[in-house]
Structure 1
């Protein structure tokens, strides 16, 4: 008496998964990533007035730090924190 594999009938799930992954790898991907910048964002990037004023302020603070004349006002910091959290 000969007993055959009745349940499997030559089905190999690993082979199927390999074939599926090979098929998906062969398909060209139609989707591409792209970034769009709004006109407002472009305007903000091009404004130099704000960046110039900021750079001047940063340079002034750097010179004060180098000279040792930079002082911190704790009351101004506390008022700023209170105003931030009250709003």
Structure 2
């Protein structure tokens, strides 16, 4: 007995389901959103903080370029201990 593909029109239900799932996934793409609090905006706007930081960064850069930058391991350890004790 031989079975023919009578009435089969090339319809693949699995392929149709796969196409439907990919269409749903494309429509559900989410976007990332970042919100900055008003306090953070105020901190960014304060010129005193940025000037002091820029001066400190510039001093460190010049020390690095000249090869005179030294790291105090005791101060780093003390800072870490204070941070984790709080």
Match of 2:80 in 1: 81
Aligned residues: 80
Distance 1:48 1:86, change over 3 A: same
TM-score w.r.t. length of structure 2? 0.55
> Tell me, which stretches of 5 or more residues in structure 2 are unaligned?
1-16, 18-30
Within 5 A, what are the aligned runs for 1:1-87? Answer: 37-87=36-86
Q: Report the Cα distance in structure 2 between the residues aligned to 1:66 and 1:37, rounded to whole angstroms.
A: 35
TM-score (normalizing by structure 1):
0.54
Tell me how far apart the structure 2 counterparts of residues 61 and 38 of structure 1 sit (CA, whole Å): 30
**Aligned-residue RMSD, C-alpha:** 3.7
Cα 1:45–1:68 shift into 2, 3 Å: same
